[in-house]
Amino acid sequence: MAIVGVGIDVVDIERFGESLTRTPGLRDKLFTPAEASRPLASLAARFAAKEAVAKALHAPGGLAWHDAEVVSESSGRPILEIRGTVLARAHELGVDSVHLSLSHDAGIASAVVILESAQTHAV
């Protein structure tokens, strides 16, 4: 497996909450209905994941927020489901596997996304 992209993002949870309060439509713009029902710290971590995947995809324009959704397995492990614009860009880069790690503590939420391809690429 070859790493195609790595993205990381951190979010100040309090400031993110203030943004959601100040701009009521922002929650629906950024999150799917399933994500939007989560507590603030989880929302901040999910926002960080969406930013991190965009960075891992080399930050092209035109990615739709709802095309990257963080869902949880029954064990609680977060999974990044991609579709639409995000999936199309991942296919362009040859992505076969998406890895996600989320964390939130001490007022900060963070996410790391690693994209891999089964094909090896010459450097």
Domain boundaries, the chain: 2-117
**CATH number among 3.90.470.20, 2.30.30.60, 3.30.420.40, 3.40.640.10, domain 2-117:** 3.90.470.20
pTM of the predicted model as reported, rounded to 2 decimal places? 0.92
Residue-wise pLDDT for 88-100, tens only, equals 999 999 999 999 9
Q: Is the dihedral of CA 34, 39, 44, 45 positive or negative?
A: negative
Report helix, strand or coil for 50: helix
Q: Can you tell me the mean pLDDT for 73-77?
A: 93
Residue-wise pLDDT for 18-66, tens only, equals 999 999 899 999 999 999 999 999 999 999 999 999 999 998 788 999 9
